[in-house]
Amino acid sequence: MSVTAGASGPQRQHQDDESPNGDLPDPDENGDDLHNEVKRLRREVQEKDRRLEQLERIVADLQQAIPQPPMPKHDPQLTQAMLPPLPQAGDL
């Protein structure tokens, strides 16, 4: 990192900010690049949002198309019938 003194005092320049020939990049060009990148990313997000909405509609349609079995009401006798029998004292 080099330090140069300018009219407004010392300024730091990062080597990453310098072009191969040692000049600083054009700030307007860098601003335009950033602006274009932001616009591209916004378009990409909008496209992904549209695709997500399409997929959510597809999933909702499929869920409606698949018949759902009715949920049985809680029946204690049915619950007991589904449990395995408890071991008896003579079985141990």
Strand partners, 9: 6
* Mean pLDDT, range 62-79, rounded to an integer: 77
Backbone angles phi, psi at 5, to 5 degrees: -100, 130
Residue at 48 is within a domain: yes
Query: Is residue 65 packed enough to be buried (19+ CB in 10 Å), middle (13-18) or exposed (0-12)?
Result: exposed
Domain with 56 in it: 38-65
Residue at 57 is within a domain: yes
Is 49 in contact with 43 (CB distance < 8 Å)? no
pTM over 0.75: no
Q: Decide if pLDDT at 11 tops 80.
A: no
What is the model's pLDDT at position 83?
Answer: 64
Q: What is the percent of the chain where pLDDT is above 70? A: 51
Domains of the chain: total = 1
